[in-house]
Amino acid sequence: MLLLGSTVAYAAAHERRFRLTSLSLPDGWSEFLDARAKLDRERLRFRHSDLTAISRALDAAIDERAVVLGDLEINNLIPSLSAKAVLVTFRSPAQTAMHAGVSREQGRALWKQYQRVVLGDAGPEATLRYLHDNDVRFVVTAADADWFTGIPPDVLPRQRIAEAGFLRLYRLDGAEKKIR
């Protein structure tokens, strides 16, 4: 009992270092989802209503199943938004391997490619090839993502089919490919 009391007291006093979320719920916690990608120092706050709107639009746009790619902040939420969505990567290289049914080495390679693309390190040609090679039909961004909007629309035809808050859902036109 003493250990539990000491832990709670320490966590309350050192909130940023200890990060027990049940001790310090942020304002608006019932209306927002706080998201932070490991490589991104900014924390985005998604409104639950915006996520629900994108979820409905995604479900309406996907016939049976489709590969969906999201920014660092949103990609891991996509399976919660639509059961019809298939991801290229999920959370980490190890979880990507389990999610995609590939080896850990393949999961690590997929993860590295994904990071290069969404961090803008791959360049437009490599990003276009990545989207094509992985049969990506939909992209969800948490803002106007430079890695995506930097590809001219005549090179990558796309249609914005939903927008909610700063979330945007795009259909990649001409990408009517089958899931592997």
Structural domains present in the chain: 2-45 (no CATH), 47-172 (3.40.50)
Looking at residue 149, what is its pLDDT? 87
- Average per-residue pLDDT in the chain? 80
Looking at residue 141, what is its pLDDT? 92
Looking at residue 57, what is its pLDDT? 95
- Tell me the pLDDT tens digit for each residue of 120-165: 899 899 999 999 999 999 999 987 788 998 888 989 999 999 999 8
User: CA quadruple 19, 78, 68, 155: dihedral positive or negative?
Assistant: negative
More confident residue, 138 or 177: 138
pLDDT at 170 over 80: yes
- Tell me the pLDDT tens digit for each residue of 38-75: 444 555 667 778 889 999 999 999 999 999 999 888 88
Q: Which of 87, 83, 81 is nearest to 56 (CA)?
A: 81
Looking at residue 74, what is its pLDDT? 86
pLDDT at 8 over 90: no
- Tell me the pLDDT tens digit for each residue of 21-36: 555 655 665 555 555 5
Mean pLDDT throughout 164-168?
A: 90
Looking at residue 127, what is its pLDDT? 93
